[in-house]
A and B are shown apart, each in its own frame.
Chain A
C-alpha cells in the first residue's frame, strides 16, 4: 500500500508540473474579467441620463392621459374625445422608446404588461365593457393596445354612447378608469422610485453577479430586443406559422403606425446600449473576429433600422405584399441577438439571468 500511495502522489505531481511548465507564459490571452472600468460612473450615467429623465417624461404622458380621461368621463363630448385621442397617441409614441427600461421598480410593477400587452384581445375588451372588471384577471385587454382599439376603431358617436355618464355605462366607465389609472399608478411608482432611493441602490449595485445592475441592464436590453424582433415583426410576418401571416397582430394596428413604433423600439434599445455598455466594451477591448464588438453592434442596429425603412406604408399590408422586405428586416434584427445576448455578456463576464436556474449546478 505504501508504495502505491507514494507513486500515485508522485505521478500526480509530475503530471501537474508537466502541464504547468509546458507553456506557462505562452498563451497570454488571459481573460477580460476584473478590468478597471469605472462601473459606478457608468451606472450613474444610466440613472441620471436614461432611467430618470425617461421615466419622468413617461410620467408626464400618463399624467396627461389621466387628466384627459377625467375630462372625458366628466364631460363626454367630441372635444374631450379629441383630446383623449391625442393623449393616447402621444403616450404610445412616448412609451415606444422606453419599453426596454424594464429594470428594478419597473419589473416590480410589471410595467410592460400594464402598459403595452399586444396584440389586444378585442373580445375580452368588449366583454369587460359590458360585464365590468370585477374578479377579472387582466391579460391582453388593458394598456395602450386596449385604448387604441377602443378610441381608434370606434366612431365618435359610439364612443360617446359607451362612455357618457349614464347608469348603464357604469361598467365601461369603470373599465376605462381602471386601465388609465393602473397605467398612471404604475408609471408614477417607477418614476418616484428612480427619483428617490432606487437611484442610490442601483448605482451601488456594482459587480457582475446575477441581480447586479449591469446584469439587469443587459437582461432588460436582451429581453426587449427578443420581444421586439418576435412580436413587432416576426409574428405578424408569420415566421412562427409556416408563412401564414398574421397582420392582425401588429402593434399599433388601428393607428397604423407599426413601423414607426418598431423604429422607436430599435432606437430605444440602441440608446440603452449607447448609455455605457458600449464604453464598457471598448474599455476591455472587446473584439469579435478582429472587429470591435461595439462597432459590430452599432452597425447591426443601423442595418436593422435601414432594413425596416425599406418597408413602406403599412406593416400589416407589407407582410403580405412585400414579404421579402419584411423577412430581410427580421433577419437584420435577429443578427444582433447573438452579439447582444451571447457575445457581450460573455466578454463582460456577466451572467445572463433571465435564463434562470431553478436548480443547483456542479
Chain B
C-alpha cells in the first residue's frame, strides 16, 4: 500500500501543467489586485470602516490602515507578476501569500470563498517549485532547471478543485435550490434586459433548469474532466458554466480562477504542446532532474493532514443543529457558494443596568453599509459588534457592564422575514466561540 502510494505521488511528471498554472495564477492575482485598487475598494473596505470584524482565532491580526492596505495590494500585484515570470519565485509566492492572507483577515465581512481558494492555491505553490522551467529564475540560476515535478504537485491542485466542486454541488442538494429554484429565481430575472438571453432569464422555468444543471455540473464535472475521452467537452462546459456565472453575477475573479485552474486536468503533453505553440522553447531532456523530495514520508503526512482538514472543515456544519443557510454556523470555508439571498434588519439597543436607560444604536455611526448588511445576517458578527458597542457606550455614557440586545429579522430566499435571535439575550455577555449559539431562533420553513 504505502509503496504503491509513494510510487504514485512521487512519480516524475512533466512540469508543463504547473508552468501553465503558475503563469495564469500569477497574472490573475495581479489583475485581481489592480482591479481591487482601481475600483476604490481599498478605501471602501479598509479606509471607511472604524471597526473591523474578525475570524475566530484571528482577532490578533493587525489593521494596517488604508496606506498599509494599499501596500499589501501593491505587493500582491507585484508578486503576481513575479510568480507568472518565475522570478524570485519562492519569495514572491511567500510574500503574496502573506499579503493576500493578511488583507483577507482584516475584516471578516469581506469573506468570499474564492479568496479562500486563492490563498490555498498560493500555499500549494509555495511548496511546488513551478519555476523549474520557462521562468526567469532558471536563466539566472540554471541549476534550478527541472523538466519534471513529482506527481503530487498536480494532484494536490486537482484534489483541491475537486473538493470545491463537490462541496459546492452537495450544498445545492437542498429543497430551496431544487424545488423553489432559489435564489436563482430572484437573481436571473434581474438580467431580463440582457440582449438575446434576457427574456429567457425572466422565465420562471429557466431558474429551475439552471438550478438543476448547476447542481449536476458541480457534482459531476470533475469526473468528466478526469476521464480523457470526455475532457475536451467537459472543458467547454467549464467555460460555458463559468462565463455564464461571470456574466450574470457579481462574482469577480471566481469564474476566471476556475477556468484557468481547471486546465490542470489536461495532460502533460497537452500543456507542453500549447506552450511550444505559444513560443516557449522546447525543454532539454538533460534538464530532467531526479525527484527532489527526500522526505517522502513527511510530504505524505502533510498532504494527508491538509486534505483531511479540507474534508472536515466543510463537514463541520453537521455538528451544528439547524440549517446552515439560516444560522450561518459552519458556513465559511465550506464552498457554499451562491446559495442564499438574504436580507437582515438588525436594531441594537444598549442598556444601562443601573438606571434602566436604553439607547437604540444607529448602525451607520459604527459600521459601513456593507458591514451592516453582513452583520445583520451573521450571528458571530452580532456578538463582535455587541462587544464593540458595549465598550463604546460604556465609555461614552459611563455605564458599568452595559447590556446589549438586538431585534433582528432576516428574510431568506424570497420568504417573509423571521426573528433571527432571542431579543432578550445580552449579546455583550456572549463569547464569540465555535459553539452553537443557542440564542438563534430556529428557522420555520
Contact = CB atoms under 8 A, between A and B. Distances in A.
Given A240-B359, A361-B251, A351 B185 contact: no
- Among A26, A207, A355, A356, max chain B CB count under 10 A is at A355
Contacts, number: 186
Chain A binding surface, main DSSP class? loop
A207 B227 CA distance: 42
Given A33-B204, A342-B409, A361-B250, A209 B416 contact: no
Contact of A207 (B192, B352, B372, B409): B192
B369 A16 contact: no
B173 A358 contact: no
A11 to B, nearest CB: 9
Contacts of A243: 355, 357-359
Contact of B414 (A32, A230, A242, A287): A32
B439 interface: no
Interface stretch (A98-106, A111-119, A265-273, A333-341): A333-341
A295 B222 CA distance: 51
B28 interface: no
B185 A33 contact: yes
Given A8-B223, A361-B249, A345 B343 contact: yes
Contacts of B203: 34
A6 B230 CA distance: 13
A293 interface: yes
A362 B254 contact: yes
- Among A6, A23, A207, max chain B CB count under 10 A is at A207
B269 interface: no
A343 B226 contact: no
Interface range, B side: 35 or more
B249 to A, nearest CB: 7
Nearest to B170: A15
- Among B41, B350, B362, B393, max chain A CB count under 10 A is at B362
Interface range, A side: 35 or more
A359 interface: yes
A30 to B, nearest CB: 6
A230 to B, nearest CB: 7
A326 to B, nearest CB: 13
Contact of B219 (A12, A23, A27, A210): A12
A16 B219 contact: yes
Contacts of A27: 175, 179-180
A130 to B, nearest CB: 32
Contact of B113 (A338, A345, A362): A362
Contact of B417 (A24, A346, A357): A346
A351 B114 CA distance: 23
A173 B397 CA distance: 43
A30 B180 contact: yes
B370 A334 contact: no
B202 A16 contact: no
B370 A359 contact: yes
26 contacts: A5-B223, A19-B173, A23-B179, A26-B179, A30-B204, A31-B204, A32-B414, A33-B189, A207-B190, A209-B192, A241-B359, A242-B359, A293-B416, A334-B347, A346-B417, A349-B414, A357-B370, A358-B39, A358-B45, A358-B368, A358-B370, A359-B110, A360-B250, A361-B338, A362-B112, A362-B251
Interface of B: 39-41, 44-45, 110, 112-114, 169-170, 173, 175, 178-182, 185-186, 189-193, 202-204, 207, 212, 215-216, 219-220, 222-223, 226-227, 249-254, 337-338, 341, 343-345, 347, 350, 352, 355, 357-362, 368-370, 372-373, 393, 397, 399, 409-411, 413-417
